[in-house]
Amino acid sequence: MTITLIILSITILLFVWGKYSADAIALVSMLSLFLFGILDLSETLSGFSNPTIIMIAALFIIGEGLSHTGWTALATTKLLKYTKNSKVKLLMYMMFGAGALSGFVSNTGTVATLLPATIASSWSIGTMPSKILIPVAFGSNTGGLLTLTGTPPNIIVNNALIETGVQGFSFFEFGLIGLPLLIIGVLYFRYIGFKLLPNNPTNNKPINIDDTLYEWIEDYKINDDYYQLRIRSISPLINTKIKDWDLENKFKVSIIRLKRRHPKPFKGIREFTEIPDADTELKYHDIITVKGDTYDINRLMINFRLGLLPKETAKEELRNNLINQEVGMSQIIITPNSRLVGRRIKLKEYFARYRTQLMAASRHSKPYLEDEIRVEPGDSFIIRGKWESIEIINDQHENMVVAGRPEEMLKNVDSLTYKSFIALGALLLMIALLIFNTVPGAIAALLSAGIVLFTGCIPFNKAYKTISWTSVVMIAAMIPMGLAIQKTGAAKLITEAIIEVVGKNNPIFLLAGIFIITTTFSQFINNSATAVLMAPIAILTANGLGISAEPLLIAIAISASTAFLTPVGTTTNAMVLAAGGYKFMDYMKVGLPLLLLFLTTTLLLVPIIWPF
């Protein structure tokens, strides 16, 4: 017992010191428990086989699936509209939203769903994610108190009450204290907590797709030679293939994109051919986006009896017509060590090998109009193609810089495709399975993650990169510590000693003692394990004093969800650790005042709602 408490104390001090990464400290702590003989091998490694760890990893994949398919960008756009670029409003919206959602969905599921949108929204309004992420994590923890199934400790204390022969709590009864606490939490961060939150610099800034595209338009004069033409009923192009006309050589015009508007099989449904090839067949009323100078476009229109559509603004043209979830654009920059330097190549043909289109070229910061060039260092090109094609170019050319971070640009496209609804359906399936308790949480998350992967919402080779391994390893390595505290009897001994002191006095003191003990354990031990440990002790103490156990059990449920002082107390705290660049003391600094507010509120309201 003594050795366990010493290891725990050293672990806490190292967390507070902050010199070493949290996952490394947790691993050393876990190994120490084994080397001193406190835990056997299976107990030491039990965290890595814990279903919670599997669920967290799967949730990161599901969240990334939502980002890849446009939901995160869309949610960010809507959030910014409602918050009107206010940092405080964004914080309040996200925290209250996390709380409301976690009343029906697991806390980890809530944070995984909101994490990408929170990060993107934070950067968009000019604030660091560290100013918003902790409130989201704390809000999800508090929101679990809104319903009976919101968090495992609620179920545990309810079952303990039923076993005593008393009717259990109703589904929304926890909300009588949960809703006031959530509101208090939101107001705390609105007026106090926001000032205490750190402004940690992180490297997870999403690319601003609008600004990036606008720069390309200006630098490369892209919008100058792009036009949209409609194939009229008298055009000879109807029912022919692109290769039949050799437009590139005869008219020096490239067809960049095709939007099919006739016939419409379903109202509002339109067919797009993002990268038309030589075998693409042209139909009446098709809208084709073409690239060429004004003289050649006029010749094309006259020869093929095409109609000219009004030109959109540059930004709208690219955002609405040339970039979406399937197809993107990127800037290619040639470095001095590139194998292309000194080679004479036909640019369009070269990039066509990778199923991409050359949109513009530049040399010495000036647009370059010739198709065949001898490549020089510093030459740059704007290309358009499927996102995976751009990634292939990036992977195969060591000394060719693909600027604009295609992977990050994709996440900021807010248009939706059928894959978007598959990703959303996977999330809703997981939520339904969790609400109705059809399968264990880890299995529900794995099923949904599998759907996201096998339907191509996120590539398999990107799946493992989306997981925050720092958070996963830290949680897995700290689970054995909770087991050691219980196994050695340290938790029970401390609890009974304190209860013996405070339990002989006023029941309010007992309530405070129960809260303080439970919240102390919950900072380092899984909240479910904490509730399991504390519930029987609270019932025995209540019976011994001849008072109702209900207020004590409610206090346990509340305090088990107040792991505000450490990043290891709950999985949600750990999930935002790396994304916010937080240190141990960040949680302590902002969490301690909130914890005291929750304690005060509990002591005031619980005896009124659930009398002794």
Are 569 and 559 in contact by the 8 Å Cβ rule? The answer is no
User: Could you tell me the pLDDT band of residue 321, with boundaries at 50, 70 and 90?
Assistant: low
- Give the per-residue pLDDT at 495: 62
Angle at 305 between CA 299 and CA 310, to 5 degrees: 80
- 266 compared with 364, residue with greater pLDDT: 364
Give the C-alpha separation, 576 to 92, whole Å: 17
Q: Check if the beta carbon of residue 434 is closer than 8 Å to that of residue 343.
A: no
Q: Could you tell me which CATH number the domain at 222-321 has?
A: 3.30.70.1450
pLDDT for 609: 92
* Three-class secondary structure assignment of 49-80: HCHHHHHHHHHHHHHHHHHHCCHHHHHHHHHH
Query: For the residues 429-450, what does the mean pLDDT come to?
Result: 82
Which pLDDT does position 494 carry in this prediction?
64
List the one residue out of 94, 100, 91 whose CA is nearest residue 150. 100
Band of pLDDT at residue 602, cut at 50, 70 and 90: very high
For residue 408, count other CB atoms closer than 10 A to its CB: 16
Task: Name the segment(s) of the chain with CATH classification 3.30.70.1450.
Answer: 222-321, 327-408
Domain at 327-408: CATH code: 3.30.70.1450
Average pLDDT over residues 523-550: 76
Neighbours of 438 (CB within 10 A): 11
pLDDT tens, position by position, 119-129 = 877 887 888 88
Average pLDDT over the chain, rounded to an integer: 80
pLDDT tens column, 261-292: 655 544 444 455 667 888 888 888 888 888 88
Contact 411, 360 (CB under 8 A): no
Which residue bears the tokens 């190994």?
Answer: 31
281: helix, strand or coil: strand
pLDDT of residue 25 exceeding 60, the answer is yes
The percentage of the chain sitting over the pLDDT mark of 70, rounded to a whole number, equals 83
Q: What is the model's pLDDT at position 192?
A: 92
Cα–Cα distances (Å) from 586 to 203, 318, 425, 593, in that order, read 18, 42, 36, 12
Residues 35-46: pLDDT tens digits? 999 999 998 998
Cβ atoms within 10 Å of 310's Cβ, excluding its own: 5
Task: Give the pLDDT score at 324.
Answer: 67
Mean pLDDT of the region 403-418: 62
Q: What is the pTM of this model?
A: 0.60
Confidence at 535, pLDDT banded by 50, 70, 90: confident
How many Å apart are CA 449 and CA 432, to the nearest integer?
14
- The tens digit of pLDDT for each residue in 164-174 reads 788 888 878 88
pLDDT at position 149: 65
Please give the average per-residue pLDDT across 463-485, as a whole number: 76
Kindly indicate the confidence band of residue 314, based on its pLDDT and cuts at 50, 70 and 90: very low
Residue 245 has pLDDT above 70, yes or no: yes
What is d(CA 588, CA 586) in angstroms, rounded to the nearest whole number?
5
More confident residue, 603 or 465: 603
How much of the chain, in percent, has pLDDT values that exceed 90? 15
Report H helices in 345-417.
347-352, 387-396, 406-411
- Of the candidate ranges 155-169, 256-270, 359-373, 458-472, the one whose mean pLDDT is the lowest: 256-270
**Is residue 208 pLDDT above 80, yes or no?**
no
Q: What is the pLDDT of residue 317?
A: 53
Q: Which of 61-65, 434-438, 454-458 has the lowest mean pLDDT?
A: 434-438
The pLDDT of residue 534 = 77
- Residue 472 tokens read as 């996963």
Q: Dihedrals φ, ψ of 233, to 5°? A: -65, -20
pLDDT tens digit sequence for 329-350: 888 888 888 888 888 888 888 8
Q: Which has the higher per-residue pLDDT, 295 or 221?
A: 295
- What pLDDT is attached to residue 268? 44
Phi, psi of 330 (to 5 degrees): -155, 165
